[in-house]
């Protein structure tokens, strides 16, 4: 099977339900942003590979990357325009367990981190800074997904997951900086 199909040469692409949409459609904007997010998470993991303490965080990030693939499947299957079999196959976090996992991980890191009393700037070493990039891309993904949630084109749980994921990535970035012993830069009004 070749990687190129030529079916998108005229500026459209196909969704999982078979609908063709313009490549700049809001669904593809959301899909592209979640793809960018998982790529940034992958880069952060490469920096974490160089540590002797990042194994558990890497495992969590791999799990998150897999869940982002599931998010993509949900986004590529507009809820009001797809058959029941495809909807069932691409439903996301129907019981809320993925969000609960993120909340537990956030709380776990919170207990190990100094309390925030000032704004911090993205910093703390390469892995931490890359996790901050992933966090900001996650926020953009959330902004791209919210119109789809409002229009019932994807599951509401996708938006909730992305919201919680950005919080997790923030704490993961801070925890990574602390684990490496690299101080976070503090915002100072100039």
Q: Which residues contact 7 (CB under 8 A, 6 or more apart)?
A: 13, 14
Closest alpha carbon to 127 in 17, 42, 23:
42
pLDDT digits (tens, 9 = 90+) for 119-174: 999 999 999 999 999 999 999 999 999 999 999 999 999 999 999 999 999 999 99
CA dihedral 77, 82, 84, 85 (to 10 degrees): -60
Q: In this structure, are residues 81 and 148 in contact, taking their beta carbons and an 8 Å threshold? A: no
Task: Read off the pLDDT of each residue in 173-181 and give the average, rounded to a whole number.
Answer: 97
* Superfamily for the 21-186 domain: Cobalamin adenosyltransferase-like (1.20.1200.10)
Q: Rounded to an integer, what distance in angstroms lies between the CA atom of residue 10 and that of residue 156?
A: 32
Domain residue extents for the chain: 21-186
Confidence of residue 7 (pLDDT cuts 50, 70, 90): confident
For residue 4, the model assigns a pLDDT of 85
**In this structure, what are the phi and psi dihedrals at residue 185, rounded to the nearest 5 degrees?**
-80, 135
Q: Rounded to an integer, what distance in angstroms lies between the CA atom of residue 186 and that of residue 58?
A: 26
Confidence of residue 80 (pLDDT cuts 50, 70, 90): confident
Answer yes or no: is pLDDT of 1 > 80.
Answer: no
For residue 109, the model assigns a pLDDT of 97
DSSP string, the chain: --S--STTTTSEEE-TTS-EEETTSHHHHHHHHHHHHHHHHHHHHHHHTTSSS-HHHHHHHHHHHHHHHHHHHHHTS-GGGS-HHHHHHH---TTSHHHHHHHHHHHHHHHHSPPP-S-EES-SSHHHHHHHHHHHHHHHHHHHHHHHHHTTSS-HHHHHHHHHHHHHHHHHHHHHHHHHTPPPEEP---
Q: In this structure, are residues 34 and 68 in contact, taking their beta carbons and an 8 Å threshold? A: yes
Q: Which residues contact 56 (CB under 8 A, 6 or more apart)?
A: none
Structure tokens at 98: 């993925």
The model scores a pTM over 0.75: yes
pLDDT digits (tens, 9 = 90+) for 97-107: 999 999 999 99
pLDDT digits (tens, 9 = 90+) for 14-43: 989 889 998 999 999 999 999 999 999 999
Q: Rounded to an integer, what distance in angstroms lies between the CA atom of residue 162 and that of residue 11?
A: 28
């Amino acid at each position: 099977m070749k990687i190129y199909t030529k079916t998108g040469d005229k500026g459209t692409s196909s969704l999982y339900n078979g609908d063709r949409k313009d490549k700049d459609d809001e669904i593809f904007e959301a899909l592209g942003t979640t793809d960018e997010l998982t790529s940034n998470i992958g880069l952060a993991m490469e920096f974490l590979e160089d540590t002797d303490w990042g194994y558990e965080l890497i495992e969590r990030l791999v799990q998150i990357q897999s869940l982002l693939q599931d998010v993509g499947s949900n986004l590529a299957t507009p809820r009001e325009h797809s058959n029941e079999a495809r909807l069932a196959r691409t439903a996301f976090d129907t019981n809320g367990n993925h969000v609960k996992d993120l909340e537990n991980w956030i709380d776990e890191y919170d207990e190990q981190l100094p309390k925030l009393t000032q704004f911090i700037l993205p910093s703390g070493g390469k892995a931490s800074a890359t996790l901050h990039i992933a966090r900001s891309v996650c926020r953009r993904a959330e902004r791209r997904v919210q119109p789809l949630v409002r229009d019932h084109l994807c599951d509401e749980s996708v938006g909730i997951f992305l919201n919680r994921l950005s919080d997790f990535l923030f704490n993961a970035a801070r925890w990574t900086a602390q684990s490496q012993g690299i101080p976070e830069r503090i915002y100072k009004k100039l």
